[in-house]
A = this chain, B = another copy of it.
Amino acid sequence: MAGPTAVLVVVGSEVLSAKVLDENGPWAARRLRELGVQLLAIHTVPDRVDEIVEVVERARRRATWVFTSGGVGPTHDDVTIAAVARALGRPIVRSPALAASIAAMHRLHHGGAEPPAAALRMADVPEGTALLGDPSFPTLVAENVVMLPGVPRFFRWQLDRIADRLAAPPFRLAAVFLRVAEHEVAPALDSVQRAHPDVEIGSYPRFDDADHLVKVTLESKDGARVDVALAALLAALPAEAVIRTERG
């Protein structure tokens, strides 16, 4: 599908070991969808430099945007910044603007005291990192890599601050709800998908008490193409198989 794409890298040993349920993946999928950005993959990897480097290196060549979630704090297990710097082949430098904003925040919350060295470590970023969005809690962007915090509230805030830079034309979706099983419509779906390769057709069976057995989705950024593929699909299906059609 044409338009901007994204890969999300969740840096999350705590997610893989089931200490924490990842909220950022599902939220980012919804939000990027709303913004017209196609999410190509979500990779959840441990807090290890080599693994993050490998996945970011590959992702940044494929996608318009790479978002990382987590690993940007002041402790030994916060290694995302170092990994992104290495993936981009850039040194890590201290950002004076970020250091000033961390110091100001620290003084505000600690009766005027200056921040310790560990707190200022959070001002070290890949060389050339842009500070976008909210100046007092900026979104860090180096080339096409956006380094977001793992805390869901902060992740959302910082991504939303750059939403206008991400936004693209919306996806157009149609859905057809069927009262027959997947294997009964598989040949029709297959032939319509072949005839309309630029419309993405998905088939989602249900095995619960829903009013339908299968939901078929058709999508593209071009609404006219969705219309044409939808008409072809409805022509290919037995009329009695279709419960209803929805357009989004």
Contact = CB atoms under 8 A, between A and B. Distances in A.
Interface of A: 13-22, 25-26, 29-30, 33, 38-47, 51, 73-78, 115-116, 118-119, 121-122, 151, 153-154, 171, 181-187, 189-190, 193, 200-205, 207, 217, 219
A141 to B, nearest CB: 22
B39 A42 contact: no
B43 A41 contact: yes
7 contacts: A18-B29, A41-B43, A42-B43, A74-B186, A76-B193, A115-B183, A119-B181
A186 B46 contact: no
A183 B122 CA distance: 10
B77 A201 contact: yes
Q: What DSSP secondary structure best describes chain A's contact surface? A: mixed
B26 A182 contact: no
Contacts of A190: 75-76
A217 B19 contact: yes
B46 A41 contact: yes
Contacts of A186: 74-76, 118, 121
A90 B115 CA distance: 59
Contacts of A25: 22, 44
A41 B41 contact: no
